[in-house]
A and B are shown apart, each in its own frame.
Chain A
Amino acid sequence: KVKKSSDEDRISGLSDDILSEILSLLAIKEAVGTCIFSKRWRYVWTFMHRLEFDSFKDFPSMKSDSFTQMVSQVVTLHKGLNLHELRILFNSHQDNSFPHIHRWIAFAILCGTARIELNLSMFRLLSGFCGHPKVTYAIPPDFFDRKNKAVDDIDHYLKHLDSNSAILISRSGRHFGVDNFFSSVRDLSFTQVYLNDQDVENILSNCTSLERLHVETCSTLFSIKHVYHPLKLKCLELFKCWSMTTLEILAPNLVTFGYRGPKINIFLKGVRHLVDLTVTTPLICLDYPKGISYVLDQFSCYFSQLKVLQMEVEAEKAYRNVPELSNLKLLMFYGEKCSKIENSTLIGITSVIMASPVLHRFELHLFRHKPCTGSGGKLISKGPHKYLKEVVLSGFKGLPIEIDFATYLLDNAIALEKMEIITSYIYLLGRRWCVAENNNEVHSRKQAQLFREGLASNNRSKIVVS
């Protein structure tokens, strides 16, 4: 596709606004690299409204010192106007990078950035364990504190910036200030960053437009209590905060909640709109919860309003009665923690399915499971399911237990239209799913086809193998 225009340079004639829009769609390295095109282009990138530094994806071989220098350089040169998003993902925990990190956040605060993500985690996907942090970065205590400060008192942020940025900010006509940030920030995400209870309280009190809060791997967080003023929060994700004991919030706008951690006192007050729940449990047993009964204990009071339920839990031998999930449309079960799928697992899963009368779609994602002896009771039909239309079974290997389960669903889900059998592995990362390769894909696919061939024609047409 060769696009040849006349000899005119039309792209340079576009406004800074439009050009920075285009650059925001590029990786940061390419975007900044446009500075070399011509004089007109030299500072176009400094108007970008999105800055993303993903050390794993974009700078895998960069040493952490160089990475820190790079981000700080960009922060110094960027005009700080219209910055909507700042995402930094990197894994250095040497304390010489901490003053830099303070700077980056101070910069984002002063620009009134709507979405800030700081991910200092040492893990990326299934691989990439980069070493244990010796020190973990902690947010400076005054960053979200507002108590009696005057509106224009931005000194405590300016002290973190270098003189260049500070001058830039004080000279630009724009009203930078604490107020901008606190009312502009919509989305905060901190992973492997130390926040304490007071920090979170400050965030919830002062960031009045906050719609999403994600806190992951923070062992300094013990309790979140915010019940006197309703939060605008729509999405709350708390993962791996192992020291937590209490979560009490008044969040009438909460729609999505994701949780992975110890069993705690949870009071989500007034969450009439909570429809999307994701629960994952750790494998280490001890006193930490696992299994569907944990989900029942902690969250069954919300069951009747849920529309989407994602669970990555260990399966257990016995279940109590599952309260009705009268609105559940989508149920996803990730079996990453179940290395052995037994009949009892599937009995448990089917009891959740049967407790969801309007369930439209069910997904079962098995993960590198091993064949087992198949004990623990048989799948007994509890009556037909009148609504279930779509089923997805991933990680399929053709084991007898999977065949039994698929057959059970085909027999009992009388409205079933489509059953998709996927041979790759799908696993849950946070609240999103990712795909991993199945080394025995050819064999699995063959098994799936065999299964399909062996069915009656009306059932056969419902199956799709991919």
Chain B
Amino acid sequence: MSSVKKVTLKSSDGEIFEVEETVAMESQTIKGLIEDDCADNAIPLPNVTGHILSLVIQYCKEHTSSSDSNSSKSNEKLKAWDTQFINVDLNVLFDLIMAANYLNVKGLLDLTCQTVADMIKEKTPEQIRAMFNIVNDFTPEEEEEVRRENAWAFEISLKNNNVVDTFEVEESMAKELQTIKNMIEDNYTDSVIPLHNVTSDILELVIEDCKKHVEAAESESEPSYSLASKLIDDPLKA
């Protein structure tokens, strides 16, 4: 007959929460207090309001039970729960970040930080400032200086599909030249590779075309489908 050990937490606005010890220990801060025997009375948490504390406790409950029963809750289900959970107002999100940091709940801190990172991704500075109400307090000269200091970070990148096309051409080429491809991939460059089955003029042709193809890829020109098809038609015996 074991009684479940509980701890009492008191939020900044006086709300009292009784929580199982194992759940509370998801917070490394609280865990430390429990282990140092400072948790006999209610633990005061002056930096966390009742509303936020209840959310944190919810998170901890969900994540303790999943680690208990040998991940009977699948990772996918937990991830889905997390996504639902974190779908909150921006103010609440920041409160959660600060609470997770103060209480040292790693999973929650990771989740909240990732959420903010996802909001920043692929947006322009103007959009991000608008989203978070950041005021641009640079003078024009200062802003110019900052841009110059990290010029590369402000270059517009061209997302071209050449890379994908090149990939496809190389794949079909590689399929036909599997042997040579593997030799090259293995960086087998220090000795002479004997190709018993290929005569010297065929080999020359192959090498010539490979060179051309590589140069084409390097100069980022249009993928040379014609080169590849010419190569495939060559009577390769390797």
25 inter-chain pairs at a CB distance below 8 angstroms, sorted by A residue, are A5-B89, A9-B134, A11-B134, A14-B94, A15-B101, A22-B116, A22-B117, A23-B117, A25-B113, A25-B114, A37-B125, A38-B135, A38-B136, A59-B157, A61-B157, A77-B149, A126-B167, A127-B170, A127-B171, A129-B184, A129-B217, A132-B189, A242-B186, A282-B186, A283-B178
- The 7 residue pairs across chains A and B that have the minimum distance between CB atoms: A283-B182, A25-B117, A5-B90, A32-B153, A127-B167, A3-B90, A9-B133
A339, B132: Cβ atoms under 8 Å? Answer: no
Q: Which of A3, A15, A32, A219 has the most CB of B within 10 A?
A: A3
- Looking at the complex, which one of A73, A282, A339, A436 makes contact with B152 (CB distance below 8 Å)? A73
Asked if A18 CB lies within 8 Å of chain B CBs, one says: yes
Given contacts A22-B116, A30-B120, 15 further A-B contacts (CB under 8 A): A1-B87, A3-B89, A11-B94, A12-B134, A17-B101, A33-B153, A35-B149, A36-B138, A36-B146, A37-B125, A62-B152, A123-B185, A127-B166, A128-B217, A284-B183
| CB-defined contacts of A34 to chain B, threshold 8 Å | 120, 125, 128
Complex Cα distance A10/B134, Å?
8
Complex Cα distance A4/B171, Å?
47
Q: A129-B214, A219-B190 given as contacts; is B132 within 8 A of A283 (CB)?
A: no
B137, A284: Cβ atoms under 8 Å? Answer: no
Q: A9-B134, A61-B157, A73-B150 given as contacts; is B117 within 8 A of A284 (CB)?
A: no
Mask: chain B, 126-146; 1 = CB below 8 Å from A; 0 = not: 001101111111100011001
Query: Chain A nearest CB: distance from B113 CB in Å?
Result: 5
Asked if B80 CB lies within 8 Å of chain A CBs, one says: no
Interface residues on A, range: 35 or more
Complex Cα distance A243/B134, Å?
57
Asked if B158 CB lies within 8 Å of chain A CBs, one says: yes
Query: Chain B nearest CB: distance from A304 CB in Å?
Result: 27
A284, B153: Cβ atoms under 8 Å? Answer: no
Asked if A42 CB lies within 8 Å of chain B CBs, one says: yes
Complex Cα distance A39/B146, Å?
10
A60, B121: Cβ atoms under 8 Å? Answer: no
Asked if B71 CB lies within 8 Å of chain A CBs, one says: no
B170, A7: Cβ atoms under 8 Å? Answer: no
Asked if A217 CB lies within 8 Å of chain B CBs, one says: yes
B125, A33: Cβ atoms under 8 Å? Answer: yes
A contact set with B: CB distance below 8 Å: 1, 3-15, 17-18, 21-23, 25-26, 29-30, 32-39, 41-42, 59-62, 66, 69-70, 73, 77, 123, 125-132, 192, 217, 219, 240, 242-243, 282-284, 337, 339, 368, 436
Mask: chain B, 184-219; 1 = CB below 8 Å from A; 0 = not: 111111100100000000000000000000100110
Complex Cα distance A132/B147, Å?
36
Complex Cα distance A1/B87, Å?
9
| CB-defined contacts of A129 to chain B, threshold 8 Å | 170, 184, 214, 217
| CB-defined contacts of B114 to chain A, threshold 8 Å | 25
Query: Chain A nearest CB: distance from B193 CB in Å?
Result: 7
Query: Chain B nearest CB: distance from A30 CB in Å?
Result: 7
A36, B143: Cβ atoms under 8 Å? Answer: yes
A37, B218: Cβ atoms under 8 Å? Answer: no
With both beta carbons as reference points, the residue of chain B lying nearest to A260 in the complex is identified as B186
B133, A18: Cβ atoms under 8 Å? Answer: no
B220, A242: Cβ atoms under 8 Å? Answer: no
Q: A11-B132, A37-B134, A131-B218 given as contacts; is B153 within 8 A of A126 (CB)?
A: no
B188, A36: Cβ atoms under 8 Å? Answer: no
Q: A37-B136, A129-B217, A284-B193 given as contacts; is B187 within 8 A of A242 (CB)?
A: yes
Mask: chain B, 79-123; 1 = CB below 8 Å from A; 0 = not: 000000001011101100110010000000100011011011110
Query: Chain A nearest CB: distance from B151 CB in Å?
Result: 9
Asked if B237 CB lies within 8 Å of chain A CBs, one says: no
A21, B125: Cβ atoms under 8 Å? Answer: no
Query: Chain B nearest CB: distance from A72 CB in Å?
Result: 11
B189, A10: Cβ atoms under 8 Å? Answer: no
A282, B94: Cβ atoms under 8 Å? Answer: no
- Looking at the complex, which one of B128, B170, B218 makes contact with A126 (CB distance below 8 Å)? B170
With both beta carbons as reference points, the residue of chain A lying nearest to B188 in the complex is identified as A284
